[in-house]
Amino acid sequence: MKKIIILSISIFTFLFAAYSQEKINVVVIGAHPDDCDIDAGGTALKYAQMGHRVLFVSLTNGDAGHHEKGGGALARIRRAEAQEAGKRLGVSYLVLDNHDAELMPTLENRHEIIRIIREWKADVVISHRPYDYHPDHRNAALLVQDAAFLVVVPNVVSDVPALKRNPVFLYSHDSFQKPSPFKPDIAVDITDVVEQKIYGMAAHESQFFEWLPWLNGTLDQVPATDEQRVKWLAGFRISPIGDELRQSLVKWYGAEKGEQVKVAESFEICEFGRRPSEDEIRRLFPMMGK
């Protein structure tokens, strides 16, 4: 655990070391507290280490995600867990007060997302794909898609200035195959920060050490100590790299380094936002190098 804590301190050292370079503003939007951490926690760490700005947004308060707790009490727990995760990852964390399992693609929610993206002056927006087992995930994806063009339209949500340029909108990885499988257009090597990512995820104690193990029938396997829990969580939250992802890593990092990557996060470009060139992708993902 000492090694992980030292890594956490180093993030904030990096945060203040790079003020001279152009800041990249990233918004990651998930349906629930912990979705952003799972989908883009390592990439967020990379941005934070380089001094860029990352905002995690949970569109619901997570008040249904537990087998024993619920309602306002659970929402408060999950909001506190999200704030702790944000500290560990070096990102800002916003949890909206929509009920878990009741998220709908309403005009009100769309306008809230437009406001958030504009206020953060986002260059990159990452969210779910619209193909998913959970209705909140699907509706979160629809909301972000519906906001993708409108963030540059001045007469929509006119109380917040429209962005001058449309962000690059990206989908986070999933394994669903129909109607179309995920395509890893962009791949980020997170091998050197994966321990810190897992440590950040572990802040969501009610999820990774209570609710999800209960759902999976493994609650009796959850270790007792924090250090053991982090290792246990890493055991089933670090996925092997498949052929398609490996090809993307080789494209962005070159053959030698791309073949050596052990852990990565990947993203698919959403056609509804800006269509970036390869040079622009490298600028927006400076952790990949040139």
pLDDT digits (tens, 9 = 90+) for 177-217: 999 999 999 999 999 999 999 999 999 999 999 999 999 99
Q: Is the pTM of this model over 0.85?
A: yes
Rounded CA separation 188/286 (Å): 10
β-sheet with 186-189: strand ranges across: 92-95, 53-58, 25-30, 124-127, 168-172, 264-269, 186-189
pLDDT at 21: 61
CATH code, residues 2-288 = 3.40.50.10320
Position 4 pLDDT exceeds 90 = no
Position 16 pLDDT exceeds 90 = no
Averaged pLDDT score across all residues of the chain: 93
Domain ranges of the chain: 2-288
Summarised one tens digit per residue, pLDDT across range 74-114 is 999 999 999 999 999 999 999 999 999 999 999 999 999 99
- How large a percentage of the chain has pLDDT more than 90? 91
pLDDT at 236: 86
Q: Are 266 and 245 in contact (CB under 8 A)?
A: yes
CA–chain centroid gap for 157, Å, is: 25
